[in-house]
Amino acid sequence: MITDVIERLHARIEKQDKILTQLQARNAEFERAAVSGPVAYMHPTGSIWRLDNYPAGMDFSKDGWIPLYAAPQPAAIKVKALERQALAEAIAERLRQIEAEGWSAEHDDSHANGEMARAAAAYCLGQQELTGAVQDGKRFLPWRKLIWPWSKEWWKPKTRREDLIRAAALIIAEIERLDRSALEGGGA
């Protein structure tokens, strides 16, 4: 069962990598062409001219020509590529947890009291020392220390971005655990 899940995750990552590669190629094309304006015009009579297929010297600023649409800006394509990059990294981190760390479905299923969700929350908070921490005796503890579910030697923060990627992977692990539990009739 876990092998099937891993194979499906690998297939998803490959698909996301292909999409990312295509987006990066399109981004490079747009940057080279520096296209930023309308790519087609429509005359009030209904005739349409694309900029790549019009008579030389055509002046679209006269006679009421209407710009139909603009080519995507390179910055917009970069944003889409970055969105996909973060998703791919979260999936890759989840696969790393399974393959390199050995956190199998059976292992994850043993954390049925929200530990993975709490660990994800702790990584989301990261090194942030939040106000509103809970008092423990005479000192205040940051929220992260209160919600981390395991012993402190397992707490291994990295950069803010890497911690958020880890948190996303832990959330995926918790969702997978909930789904398995529901399928087995154990509820969530």
pLDDT at 108 over 70: yes
What backbone phi and psi angles, to 5 degrees, belong to 53?
A: -150, 65
Q: In this predicted structure, what is the pLDDT of residue 11?
A: 84
Sign of the torsion angle spanned by Cα atoms 87, 21, 51, 31: positive
Strand, coil or helix: what is 156? coil
Q: In this predicted structure, what is the pLDDT of residue 62?
A: 73
Q: In this predicted structure, what is the pLDDT of residue 52?
A: 64
Q: What is the mean pLDDT of residues 113-120?
A: 94
Q: In this predicted structure, what is the pLDDT of residue 72?
A: 53
pLDDT at 86 over 60: yes
How would residue 25 be classed by pLDDT, with cut points 50, 70 and 90? confident
Do 49 and 40 contact (CB within 8 A), yes or no?
A: yes
Q: What is the mean pLDDT of residues 66-78?
A: 60
Q: In this predicted structure, what is the pLDDT of residue 177?
A: 93
Residue 4: HSE in the Cβ half-sphere, 13 Å Cα cutoff: 1
Q: In this predicted structure, what is the pLDDT of residue 120?
A: 94
Strand, coil or helix: what is 49? strand
How would residue 185 be classed by pLDDT, with cut points 50, 70 and 90? confident
Q: Please state, in angstroms and rounded to a whole number, the distance separating the CA atoms of residues 104 and 121.
A: 21
Residue type, 8: R
pLDDT at 73 over 60: no
Residue type, 143: W
Q: Please state, in angstroms and rounded to a whole number, the distance separating the CA atoms of residues 37 and 137.
A: 64
What backbone phi and psi angles, to 5 degrees, belong to 112?
A: -90, 5
**For residue 143, what are its two tokens?**
């929220």
pLDDT at 100 over 60: yes
